[in-house]
Structure 1
Amino acid sequence: MPPRRSHKKSRAGCRRCKSRKIKCDEIHPRCGNCVKHGVACDFQHPEILAEQQSAASAGSPSTPASSIDFRSPIARPDVPAFASPAPLYRPPPTPSLSSTTPAGHRLLELKLMHHYTALTCKTFTFTAPVTEDIWKITVPNLAFAGSQHLADAILAVAALHLRSLTPNDKELIRASHAYMAASLAEYSATLTRGIDNSNAETLFLTAALIAFQSTATRVFMKDELSLGGGAGSQPGEPIKDRNKAAGCYVIPFSWFHSFQGVKAITAASWQYLRASPVVTQVINSQAVLQLDFTSGPETFFGHLLDSLEDELAAMKAPQNGSDIPPARPSSASSQQQNRHDIGNEELIAATRQAYQHAVAVLNWAHKIPHKGAPLAFPATVSRRYIELLEERRPRALAILACFFALLKSMDSVWWLQGMARREVLGVVSLFNSDFFGPDAYREWWPHLEWAMRIALYEHEGAARGEPIPVDVWGADWFAEERALDGQQGNDNYFRHIEMFSQIMSPDNSVPPVPQ
């Protein structure tokens, strides 16, 4: 019997052959088995090895190589979308860029950054051309200097903008969500580590981009009117249950959370931001709030405060379901009742102030909507007003409808397009639902009529930047702008924030991450 031929075991075969447990002929640049089956070989594309190892570590060790997805990480749920998998394979001494980052991923990021600098950055400002250069040049440079949360936020917003041009592009849908998720994660981690002079500027800019993204995402959501739940909901049910059950329309609280986040990050880091020329220019480019707290028919939205005192008086009514005074309380219960009364008085005062302030912002924004003034509403309303929205108070909802109607003035902006019509109709639908009872629509219609008229108005000159006619809108935008400029003098947003920050403790003002 002839001696057995010696066999020299080799460990240099390609990864695919190893996973299939077949002998690799080790031919470069592609082994014979990979050529035969028409698949990629890690001899020719070293990055495939990293892809396979990453996918294998995330899934079952027995996953066949033929089932691994080699698309860009952006398009894959099992691989981190914002950096290529850790290179388990060390490339030759002179590697190409493709050995560390998949080509499709690189091209997408180049496409997104180009779109951002060419187009998206121009859609963030309504007033000062100088801020366009900040968003176009300065902000990307700050991201390139090492701010990952800012870089991811830039790419997320650019992907969303491109998606507005091609709504059915699934890669852009995945990219916009994935990049923003990565930005929020890093943003949250940075806040946890603390705000200081080195990160305050980029945190502020990222917060602003998060607010843009949160607002724009609403444009792409399908109509949220649903068939379930309305009949069984009652005003006495928990807020969480009522918001689901009342039936129809879901209030975009993410708007308020994200814009309030910008305000909070500004207050928390103002000691650093006040010395930043970048942030100063962005802030001072905004129209200055000039609020008049006069109530009544002499102001455009004064009617939204009609019968406010009656509503507040109802909050003082006995909670025992009876008009009969309770029995004489003991000393301990009397003290408890006093504390309750004081707390109730504070709540009533906060409610009054919340409504008055919200209406004052509406009156101001109504005069100069073309300057982006309506966007100050979600950023400046009080926490108590947001609570009133969560409780679905009719007055708070009527105010909300008027705010959304103001956005009609910016209908040509991609991230606000169609917003007025959609949201006003949604809010008004709540008054037609079973949640408020049969008389709510008739009672509140006089306060909703203007919002509905504006939301449904077809404005042929909107694309050309023409104002809505005075007889429809109720104010001459440019005449009001000149009048407000004359009253403003040397006042600017910088001074407003300076005063606001003095009454807030930076140590206790770290903003929450938007939901």
Structure 2
Amino acid sequence: MQQESPLTENTPNSQNSPSTNENDVQPRKSGDRITRKAHKKSRAGCKNCKARRIKCDEAKPDCRNCQKRKDRCEYPTVATATPFGLRTEGVILNSNEALNTADIELTYHWATSTCFSLSARHEGSLHWQNLLAEIGLEHHHVLHLMLALTALHLASCRPTRRDEYVALAKHHYERALAIVTPLLPNIDSSNCDAILTAVQMICFVTWAHGPQPGEYLAFGEHSKSEWLVMFRGVKMTTESLGRDKFVKTLAPSMRVKSRPLPQTNPPDGYEKQLQGLRDEVDYVSELDNREDEVQAIDILRECYTSRYGGSDGEYHVVFAWLYRMSDGFLERLQQRCPIPLVIYAHFVVLMHEMERFWYMKGWTHHVMSGIHEALLPEYRTWIKWPVASVGWVPP
């Protein structure tokens, strides 16, 4: 005799079953099973909704109830079936491992907008665009820094969501530092491109975060500038191994100039001003510091000439000045010695050009105000030309 499934309806035919009247009540035998209508009840709701005994919409990464209450949304361990019908180990579906739409948004914005905003040259933009695939996917500290910078870019573009994007930037920046810091003492040919890129990106993130009280890039009000230490790290990184080891970041193809940059009007009388400053410093500077301070002015004049002397002047040549300064000069600048501060004020005029980039907005006036505050009154007359050139008005 064929056995019927207890989950299927028993419908005997009229030939094999005794006739019954629809009004007769048939007693249920002890071996019979009653088929019940299936009732689907989800057990995949988040832990908070289960504890509160309320219905969960099971949205990922955070359900609507947790969003309203600003609770951390966590989902329980569930067992999933493979396409082959096998059971797998439990998978934790929580907000950390679920699809992170915020990072997807940042990655998309990096590739379509932020990477093109960092350089005035097309080939420079392509370099930053390709960075994601060439370095970021292999070295996650670079990826975190790219996302941090992109979050700050979005914060500047979308003021209504600024706090949200700044928080994302802080998260990725801290993750990056935790990864890259232990790598710095162990730089070699296998990671030098990634470390150099990380240092460059940290500089960008610092600029993009905006001026901070008591921080003036090359010096601080109460302590040494952390940004300057990181910026000088670029020089230390390249010189420790040699430029030929940096295949991806310092390759000759990345230094090719395809087209000139737009010309800008140079500051009025900058050549005469810098020559007068050089003569004055050469006369009043202390003997032990004179060579460094005169050289600082000479290099600054080269940077001015490179920027304004022809149609192919680079914007980023501005920071070549800080890159080329001697350790002794920068040490006195961080100690807020007057003559290095005066020379630095003349550098800020050149830096003012960089405010056409979103990540440098507000820095010129902020740094000039810090220099003015740090100088004694008798030295403030030395910076009248820089102050007027950038349009900053002393209090």
**TM surpasses 0.5:** yes
> Is 1:304 matched with 2:304?
no
Aligned-partner Cα distance in 1 for 2:314–2:255:
13
Q: Is the 8 A contact 2:196 2:238 kept in 1?
A: yes
> Is 1:267 matched with 2:267?
no
After TM superposition, give the deviation of residue 112 of structure 1 in Å: 0.9
After TM superposition, give the deviation of residue 39 of structure 1 in Å: 6.4
Counterpart selection for 1:284 from 255, 258, 263: 255
Aligned-partner Cα distance in 2 for 1:186–1:394:
38
> Is 1:366 matched with 2:366?
no
2:229 maps to 257
1:399 maps to 343
> Is 1:204 matched with 2:204?
no
Aligned-partner Cα distance in 2 for 1:264–1:31:
53
Q: Is the 8 A contact 2:148 2:168 kept in 1?
A: yes
Aligned-partner Cα distance in 1 for 2:321–2:168:
29
After TM superposition, give the deviation of residue 46 of structure 1 in Å: 9.8
The 1:285/1:421 distance shift into structure 2, 3 A limit, reads farther
Q: 1:64-79 to 2 correspondence within 5 Å?
A: 69-70=71-72
1:160 maps to 152
Query: Which amino acid counterpart does residue 155 of structure 1 have in structure 2?
Result: L
Q: Is the 8 A contact 1:131 1:282 kept in 2?
A: no
What residue ranges of structure 2 are gaps of 5+ in the alignment?
Answer: 1-39, 63-68, 83-87, 261-269, 308-312
For each residue in 1:133-161, what CA deviation from the matched residue of structure 2 results, as whole angstroms up to 9, or x when unmatched? 1211x210134542111111110111111
The 1:207/1:395 distance shift into structure 2, 3 A limit, reads same
Aligned-partner Cα distance in 2 for 1:134–1:307:
41
Q: Is the 8 A contact 2:208 2:360 kept in 1?
A: yes
Counterpart selection for 1:172 from 141, 165, 168: 165
Tell me the secondary structure at the aligned position of residue 360 of structure 2: coil
Query: Which amino acid counterpart does residue 264 of structure 1 have in structure 2?
Result: M
Tell me the secondary structure at the aligned position of residue 384 of structure 2: helix
Count of residue pairs brought into register by the alignment: 320
Q: Is the 8 A contact 2:142 2:194 kept in 1?
A: yes
> Is 1:425 matched with 2:363?
no
Query: Which amino acid counterpart does residue 34 of structure 1 have in structure 2?
Result: K
For each residue in 1:316-352, what CA deviation from the matched residue of structure 2 results, as whole angstroms up to 9, or x when unmatched? xxxxxxxxxxxxxxxxxxxxxxxxxxxxxxxx1xx33
Q: TM-score, normalised by structure 2?
A: 0.68
Q: Is the 8 A contact 2:196 2:237 kept in 1?
A: yes
Q: TM-score, normalised by structure 1?
A: 0.54
For each residue in 1:356-396, what CA deviation from the matched residue of structure 2 results, as whole angstroms up to 9, or x when unmatched? 23212321222344512212122222211221112211111
After TM superposition, give the deviation of residue 206 of structure 1 in Å: 1.4
Aligned-partner Cα distance in 2 for 1:224–1:117:
31
Aligned-partner Cα distance in 2 for 1:176–1:46:
22
For each residue in 1:300-327, what CA deviation from the matched residue of structure 2 results, as whole angstroms up to 9, or x when unmatched? 41333314454314xxxxxxxxxxxxxx
Tell me the secondary structure at the aligned position of residue 119 of structure 2: coil
For each residue in 1:415-457, what CA deviation from the matched residue of structure 2 results, as whole angstroms up to 9, or x when unmatched? 11232222213312333xxxx3x5343xxx1x31221112117
> Is 1:133 matched with 2:126?
yes
The 1:46/1:218 distance shift into structure 2, 3 A limit, reads closer
For each residue in 1:484-503, what CA deviation from the matched residue of structure 2 results, as whole angstroms up to 9, or x when unmatched? xxxxxxxxxxxxxxxxxxxx
What residue ranges of structure 1 are gaps of 5+ in the alignment?
Answer: 1-25, 49-66, 72-84, 226-239, 245-249, 288-296, 314-347, 459-515
Q: 1:13-412 to 2 correspondence within 5 Å?
A: 28-29=42-43, 34=50, 37-38=53-54, 40=56, 69-70=71-72, 89=77, 91-93=79-81, 99=93, 102=96, 106-126=100-120, 128-136=121-129, 138-167=130-159, 169-192=162-185, 194-219=186-211, 221=212, 243-244=221-222, 253-270=225-242, 273-274=245-246, 276-281=247-252, 284=255, 300-305=273-278, 306-313=280-287, 348=288, 351-369=289-307, 371-372=314-315, 373-412=317-356
Aligned-partner Cα distance in 2 for 1:123–1:47:
31
For each residue in 1:193-223, what CA deviation from the matched residue of structure 2 results, as whole angstroms up to 9, or x when unmatched? x22232112112111111111222234x368
Aligned-partner Cα distance in 2 for 1:140–1:97:
29
Aligned-partner Cα distance in 1 for 2:256–2:92:
42
The 1:217/1:385 distance shift into structure 2, 3 A limit, reads farther
Q: Is the 8 A contact 1:162 1:172 kept in 2?
A: yes
1:439 maps to 378
The 1:31/1:102 distance shift into structure 2, 3 A limit, reads closer
Aligned-partner Cα distance in 1 for 2:126–2:91:
30
The 1:309/1:283 distance shift into structure 2, 3 A limit, reads farther
The 1:448/1:97 distance shift into structure 2, 3 A limit, reads farther
The 1:271/1:132 distance shift into structure 2, 3 A limit, reads closer
Aligned-partner Cα distance in 1 for 2:378–2:146:
47
Query: Which amino acid counterpart does residue 362 of structure 1 have in structure 2?
Result: L
Q: Is the 8 A contact 2:78 2:92 kept in 1?
A: no
Aligned-partner Cα distance in 2 for 1:420–1:366:
16
Tell me the secondary structure at the aligned position of residue 38 of structure 1: coil
For each residue in 1:250-291, what CA deviation from the matched residue of structure 2 results, as whole angstroms up to 9, or x when unmatched? 88x2332222111111112326625x154224763599xxxx
Q: Is the 8 A contact 1:197 1:272 kept in 2?
A: no
Aligned-partner Cα distance in 1 for 2:106–2:135:
14
For each residue in 1:155-208, what CA deviation from the matched residue of structure 2 results, as whole angstroms up to 9, or x when unmatched? 01111111122346222111112211211221112224x222321121121111
Aligned-partner Cα distance in 1 for 2:347–2:390:
11
The 1:261/1:282 distance shift into structure 2, 3 A limit, reads farther
Query: Which amino acid counterpart does residue 326 of structure 2 have in structure 1?
Result: S
Tell me the secondary structure at the aligned position of residue 279 of structure 1: coil
The 1:367/1:300 distance shift into structure 2, 3 A limit, reads farther
The 1:209/1:452 distance shift into structure 2, 3 A limit, reads same
Tell me the secondary structure at the aligned position of residue 411 of structure 1: helix
Q: Provide the identity percentage.
A: 18
Query: Which amino acid counterpart does residue 314 of structure 2 have in structure 1?
Result: K
